[in-house]
Structure 1
């Protein structure tokens, strides 16, 4: 009886540990990209891979604190070009978390699973493109 109790407890422990670690999405912060005058920007995306059940690609942009207010236009970059779905705004330190809703993305860009959040930033002193790491979207 004691052996089966230890076995059962061990089994429950192993299953619970595996259950807590295997289903988690892994977010990733991109590398810093210099856009001039000491200003650097990077893009965070909430996962490396999005399943067919995913509803959005969540992201934000962040500066190193040495940028004045930046205007931005964000879109998804794919090998065929850019999606027409854009998000525009301004930020000086960090944008709020933004979402590209997968249902709004143009179907012709769904051929390629590998995409990146592309951010065009500018102000009167600096401008440049910053991309997230490449992500996989299983359309």
Structure 2
């Protein structure tokens, strides 16, 4: 009887995963590697976000920046850049990294998200030796109104 229960459970899990069901409610998104030739000929950076859609229950956009190639130490300012508002980036955070940043958090408790849904990107401006060397962006994300 115990073997039958275990076999049934394994079967249900196998069917669930083969049909695309997931136990996670949020799906992480990683951008493709983006060339940053101003930081070095082989330098590439990508942006990871913890989800592609942020519901009203979400409080932050969590992200990391990761580099490969010969980039060296890069400084960054990163923020949410809403679609259609190219001169407006909020909220933001800054720092530097030589391989990968720790998980950074952008607060969703901001007037930008009150009253309407916003689509956009986590966008990071990059510097090396006090010179701007490039801009990288996450995949497009959606933030539901607060």
Range class of TM-score, shorter chain: 0.7 to 0.9
SS of equivalent to 2:91: coil
Match of residue 44, structure 2, among 40, 44, 54: 40
RMSD: 2.9
1:94 maps to 100
Structure 1 runs, 4 residues or longer, greater than 3 Å off:
108-112
* Structure 1: distance between partners of 2:48 and 2:113: 25
Q: Which runs of 5+ in 2 are unaligned?
A: none
1:122 maps to 127
* Greater share of helix: 1
Task: Classify 1:110/1:42 alpha carbon distance in 2 versus 1 (closer, same or farther; 3 Å).
Answer: farther
* Structure 2: distance between partners of 1:75 and 1:123: 18
SS of equivalent to 1:83: coil
TM-score, normalised on structure 2? 0.75
* Structure 1: distance between partners of 2:60 and 2:90: 16
Match of residue 54, structure 1, among 34, 55, 58: 58
Query: 1:7-86 counterparts in 2 under 5 A?
Result: 14=12, 21=22, 23-36=24-37, 37=40, 38-79=42-83, 80-81=85-86, 82-86=88-92
Structure with the greater alpha carbon radius of gyration: 1
Match of residue 132, structure 1, among 113, 116, 138: 138
8 Å CA contact retained: 1:83, 1:109: no
Q: Which runs of 5+ in 1 are unaligned?
A: 1-5
TM-score, normalised on structure 1? 0.79
The count of aligned residue pairs is 132
